[in-house]
Amino acid sequence: MYEDKILKCKDCGNEFVFTAGEQEFYAEHGFQNEPQRCKACRDARKAALRGPREYFTAVCAACGKEAKVPFEPKADRPVYCSECFAKIKGENA
């Protein structure tokens, strides 16, 4: 029913594909307008609106290295560096 459409980003002027799947998603959720920006420009706009992300320093519960995390660590929950978190996540998958 839907076919991919080529649209032009109103910020950067580059063409991008509005896929059939995205069109179906828009229709299911009642969105009336097609996207006006490519994914890169949408992401940049969201990041600019959100402002800079604050990072906190913690000690990894697995290896003891310093880890920078985007949330405030709590004493009752372990915090892992990105390497140890990936290992743990891989084991639980």
Cα separation of 39 and 31, whole Å? 17
Residues 15 and 37 in one domain: yes
**Two tokens at 21?**
């799947």
The three-class DSSP label of residue 7 is strand
Q: pLDDT per position in the chain (93 positions), as tens? A: 899 999 999 999 999 999 999 999 999 999 999 999 999 999 999 988 887 889 999 999 999 999 999 999 998 999 999 999 999 888 876
Model confidence pTM above 0.75: no
Residues 10 and 46 in one domain: yes
Residues 21 and 44 in one domain: yes
Residues 40 and 9 in one domain: yes
- Give how many domains the chain has, as a whole number: 2
Question: Which residues span the domain enclosing 21?
Answer: 5-50
Residues 44 and 73 in one domain: no
Residues 61 and 87 in one domain: yes
What pLDDT does residue 1 have?
83
Residues 69 and 46 in one domain: no
What pLDDT does residue 93 have?
62
What pLDDT does residue 56 have?
95
Which candidate, 92, 53, 84, 49, places its Cα nearest to that of 67? 84
